[in-house]
Amino acid sequence: MKISEIFYSIQGEGMLLGTPSVFVRTSGCNLRCHWCDTPYASWKPEGEDLYLGSILAEVRRYWADYVVITGGEPMIVKDMVRFTQQLKTLGFHITIETAGTVFEPVDCDLMSISPKLSNSTPTTIEGGRWAAQHERLRIQPEVLKKLISAYPYQLKFVVEEPGDIAEIRSLVDDLNADRRRVVLMAEGTDSETLHERSLWLADICREEKYRFTPRLHIDLYGNRRGV
Ligand code: SF4
Model confidence pLDDT, tens digit, residues 130-183: 999 999 999 999 999 999 999 999 999 999 999 999 999 999 999 999 999 999
The finding on whether 71 has its CB within 6 A of some atom of ligand 1 is yes
* Ligand 1 centroid from CA 28, angstroms: 9
Residue 5 pLDDT more than 90?
yes
Residue 194 domain-assigned? Answer: no
CATH number at residue 85: 3.20.20.70
Lowest mean pLDDT among 60-64, 140-144, 221-225: 221-225
pLDDT given at position 227: 87
What residue owns the CA closest to ligand 1's atom 3?
Answer: 72
Strands (E), the chain: 2-10, 20-26, 48-49, 66-70, 93-98, 110-113, 153-159, 182-186, 211-212
The finding on whether 42 has its CB within 6 A of some atom of ligand 1 is yes
The residue type at 50: L
Indicate the pTM of the whole model: 0.96
The finding on whether 121 has its CB within 6 A of some atom of ligand 1 is no
Residue 212 domain-assigned? Answer: no
| Range of the structural domain that residue 47 is part of | 2-158
Residue 188 domain-assigned? Answer: no
Domain count within the chain: 1
